[in-house]
Copies of this chain bind each other. A is one copy, B any other.
Amino acid sequence: MNKININFIAKLRTSGLRPTKQRLKICDILFNREKTFHFSINDLTKILEIEHNEKISLATVYNTVHAFKKKGYLKEIHIGNEMSYFDTNTSSHHHFYDEQTKELTDISSNEVEIKKIPSPPSGKKIDGAEVIFKISKKI
């Protein structure tokens, strides 16, 4: 029960989510980080089990992640394979993606400038653009 947790308790309460110990533990893992975090449900489950020795039901991990997504604390990303990834950076931003390691790295919006933008299909408007830079090990 540290200050950090108290902040999460408040944040969850004001979101209309009860601060259960499962949710607080997941908050701690996801949001007590310097850099943004990209993870699959499987990643998160393994971190809970192995690094934190917590056995939270898989259904609860899914429920929690989806609840956080719905409240706007996580963004879902589909990239590279059949699993969903989640991103603690919920802003519109770009990514480096290494197909070998399947690693995602953030690029902030202001680091990329798209000069020439195509005109959208008729009757449609452009809501945003996200770039994926494929990267690989330098030889």
Contact = CB atoms under 8 A, between A and B. Distances in A.
Interface of A: 78-82, 84, 94, 96, 98, 105, 107, 111-118, 120-121, 123-138
> Chain copies in the assembly?
2
A79 B114 CA distance: 21
Nearest to A127: B134
Contacts of A137: 123-125
B129 A132 contact: yes
A138 B82 CA distance: 31
A134 B138 contact: no
A135 B131 contact: no
A133 B138 contact: no
A116 to B, nearest CB: 4
A113 B116 CA distance: 5
Given A78-B78, A84-B82, A135-B124, A115 B118 contact: no
A61 B113 CA distance: 40
A112 B126 CA distance: 14
Contacts of A133: 117-118, 120, 126, 128-129
A121 B105 contact: yes
Nearest to A122: B138
A130 to B, nearest CB: 5
Contacts of A132: 129-132
